[in-house]
Structure formats: C-alpha cells, structure tokens
C-alpha cells in the first residue's frame, strides 16, 4: 500500500478539494467535476479527468477493513478479470519505481482505490435468458473462487450476521421499549432454526462476491459485469445465487433451475445448500438492521434512512422476521419438484 498519513476516523474532512487532490496524486489531471454516487458504507465518486473518460474514486470507511483485507479483495476481482470473467477490478498504478504497482492508496489519512467507469443497468431477473447467462458467469466465478479461501477476510457466520447485530441493537436502545420483548423472542427462535440448519447441513466455504444483488450486476449490450466486491468473504456458494431469485415459490424454482443448469456447466453445486437459502435470507435481514444501527453516528445515514429508529420501522421489521420464521419452517426450494 502507498501510505502517507495516519488514517483518520470519519469522513468529515473528505471534501471535494481532498477528493480531487487524492486522484491527482496518482498522476491524473482532474477537471473539477465530482459526482457523489449512491454509496453509504464507503464514499464513492465519479471524478472528471481532462481529455479522458471520468474515473471512479472509492474512499474506504475508516476502521472497517484492514489493508490486507482490502488488498485481498482487489486481488480476487483482478484474478477474475485476468481470466476474462467480467469483474471490474481496481486500477493498479505505479508506486515508487515503475516496476512496482499498487491498488490501494492513501491521501491525508483516507485510503482509496481508483476504478474505470463502467456503466450498465440492473438485470431483468424474470428474463430466463439473462438468468442463464448469469448462471454461467457465476459458475465461472465460483470455479475460480473455490480453489482457495480468503486468508484475511472474514467468513459469513451466524455470529457476525445474527448474534452481534442483535446485541448491538438491544444494547444501544435503537428500538422502542414496547417492541423489545417480541423482537428478542422472534430473533431467538430464528437463531435456533438457523443454528440447527447449519449443523445439519454445514456449508463448504468458498470465496464469494458476498453481496450479489441485482444492483451489483450491471448489464450492457455485451452482457453483464460484476461490480463492488467490497463485501467479499468466505461463505456457501448459494449466498451468491439466492438474491437472483424473485416472485412466488414456483417462479423461484423455475429461476433456480435455469441458473443452476448454466452454473453447473462450469462448477459443481451441492444441492444440500438449497436448504440454507432461508437461513441466509434471515441472516441478511437481521444484519441489515444492525448495520443501520451501527452506522447511525454517520451523518449520511439519518439523512438517507430517516424511517429507521421509528416505531413504524421496528413494527414492520418484527413482522418481516415473523414471516421469515415461518419460511424457515417450510420445505426448501427444490431443483426438481
């Protein structure tokens, strides 16, 4: 990593001048156009460059990932890109002598990476041809991903996605008192079901994109490409697939068959992992509320999520968890019903 300063602890000093100066420190000449993109965990900007296409500058949230964890994520996306799998890696730029390059840089205490701008639209998850295409690409990604695990990045775990978020929410009084008892009861029941499911069907961990929802897959006339590997971690392969499913149960089973038919052209899939889908969905729902709670001190979050920390949100959240508990008790999706 190209380091210059001690890292700072928030985004309060990340103004347009700092953003432009950080980009120009890597040899670019900016035209002063800075556009904030839709990102809350990190800060991401499109920065105009004289006589060139704009580039994307991503400033990492302080104290979230270590340098080793960020670099490991960068290497994963670069490995995929080098194998002609359409993932968007950061730019590797010279540091020191021309023979040395890095993808992670520091400017005035902020760590950042630069990316080529790649546009596109979200895929149509009801389009079976697009799902088949996505299945093939995800099979290629996982065929590479399963060759080794991340050494520095974490694994998707019950502890980090259920126990810790729940404890944080309850300890910091984000929830109105009238909901605490019912919330505690429902998450306890969900936790028991998820733990039992993991014990009965322990997943094999591979490297994952980690947050493979449609917003992180950009579709162009030439097909899709994967962006934003920031949540990469070790986990079960199905984690990168279940968020591509939508609609009623029979529709999801049709979509799943299409995805896995294409996926298995490139990578084997353990059908027992289908039993983990609702457990993983439960973990994501609980973790999301915990993520909002943990980030509430960031001024961007109350502005972007004003409905959080209200009676209405927590009432709807508990209802969603009750519905999820019912889903955990149903038969899993079947590839061949």
- Which of 107, 2, 5 lies closest to 59 in space, CA to CA? 107
For residues 59 and 36, what is the distance between their CA atoms, to the nearest angstrom?
11
pTM value surpassing 0.85: yes
Highest average pLDDT, of 68-72, 223-227, 245-249, comes from: 68-72
CATH 3.30.200.70 domain position(s) in the chain: 16-116
Residues contacting residue 326 through CB under 8 Å, at least 6 positions apart: none
CB atoms within 10 A of CB 25: 15
The contacts of residue 139 (CB under 8 Å, 6+ apart) are 262, 263, 264, 265, 266, 267
Residues serving a catalytic function are 211, 228
CB 186 within 8 A of CB 318: yes
Angle separating helix axes 128-145 and 67-82, nearest 10 degrees: 120
pLDDT of residue 1: 53
Residue of 109, 78, 108, 73 lying closest to 93 (CA atoms): 78
Give per-residue pLDDT as tens, 182-239. 999 999 999 999 999 999 999 999 999 999 999 999 999 888 999 999 999 999 999 9
DSSP string spanning 178-211? Answer: HHHHHHHHHHHHHHHHHHHHHHHSPPPPEEE-S-
pLDDT at 14: 95
Query: What is the structure's pLDDT at 4?
Result: 47
Portions of the chain given CATH number 1.10.510.10: 128-328
pLDDT at 5: 52
pLDDT tens profile 93-150: 988 766 789 999 999 999 999 999 998 999 999 999 999 999 999 999 999 999 999 9
Give the whole-number percent of the chain exceeding pLDDT 90.
91
Given a cut of 70, whether residue 7 has pLDDT beyond it is no
Mean pLDDT is lowest, of 65-69, 99-103, 277-281, for 99-103
Task: Confirm or reject CATH 3.30.465.10 for domain 16-116, answering yes or no.
Answer: no
Tokens of 86: 């359409």
Give residue 10's pLDDT band: very low, low, confident or very high (50, 70, 90). Answer: confident
- Are 317 and 289 in contact by the 8 Å Cβ rule? The answer is yes
pLDDT > 50? residue 3: no
Give bridge partners of residue 113 from the DSSP assignment. Answer: 58
Q: Which residues lie closer than 8 Å to 95 by C-beta, 6 or more apart?
A: 2, 101, 102, 105
pLDDT value for 6: 61
**pLDDT tens-digit series, residues 169-183:** 999 988 999 999 999
Q: Which fold has domain 128-328?
A: Transferase(Phosphotransferase); domain 1 (1.10.510)
């Amino acid at each position: 990593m190209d380091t210059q300063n001690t890292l700072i602890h928030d985004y309060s000093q990340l103004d347009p001048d700092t953003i432009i100066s950080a980009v120009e420190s890597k040899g670019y000449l900016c035209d002063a156009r800075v556009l904030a993109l839709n990102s809350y965990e990190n800060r991401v900007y499109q920065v105009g460059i004289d006589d060139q296409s704009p580039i994307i500058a991503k400033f990492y949230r302080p104290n979230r990932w270590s340098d080793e964890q960020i670099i490991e994520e960068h290497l994963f996306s670069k490995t995929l890109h080098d194998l002609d799998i359409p993932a968007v890696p950061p730019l590797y730029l010279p540091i020191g002598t021309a023979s040395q390059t890095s993808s992670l840089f520091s400017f005035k205490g902020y760590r950042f990476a630069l990316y080529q701008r790649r546009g596109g639209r979200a895929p149509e998850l009801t389009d079976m041809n697009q799902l088949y295409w996505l299945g093939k690409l995800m099979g290629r990604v996982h065929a590479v991903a399963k060759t080794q695990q991340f050494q520095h990045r974490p694994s998707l775990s019950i502890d980090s996605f259920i126990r810790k978020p729940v404890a944080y929410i309850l300890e910091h009084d984000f929830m109105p008192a009238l909901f605490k008892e019912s919330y505690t009861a429902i998450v306890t029941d969900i936790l028991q079901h998820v733990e039992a499911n993991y014990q009965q069907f322990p997943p094999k961990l591979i490297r994952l994109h980690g947050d493979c929802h449609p917003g992180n897959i950009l579709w162009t006339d030439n097909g899709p490409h994967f962006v934003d590997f920031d949540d990469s971690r070790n986990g079960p392969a199905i984690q990168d697939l279940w968020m591509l499913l939508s609609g009623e149960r029979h529709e999801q089973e049709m979509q799943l068959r299409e995805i896995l038919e294409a996926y298995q052209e490139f990578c084997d899939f353990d059908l027992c992992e289908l039993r983990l889908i609702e457990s993983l969905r439960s973990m994501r729902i609980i973790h999301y509320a915990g993520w909002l709670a943990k980030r509430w001190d960031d001024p961007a979050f109350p502005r972007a999520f004003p409905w959080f920390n209200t009676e209405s949100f927590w009432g709807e959240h508990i209802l969603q968890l009750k519905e999820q508990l019912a889903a955990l008790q149903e038969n899993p999706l079947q590839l061949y019903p």
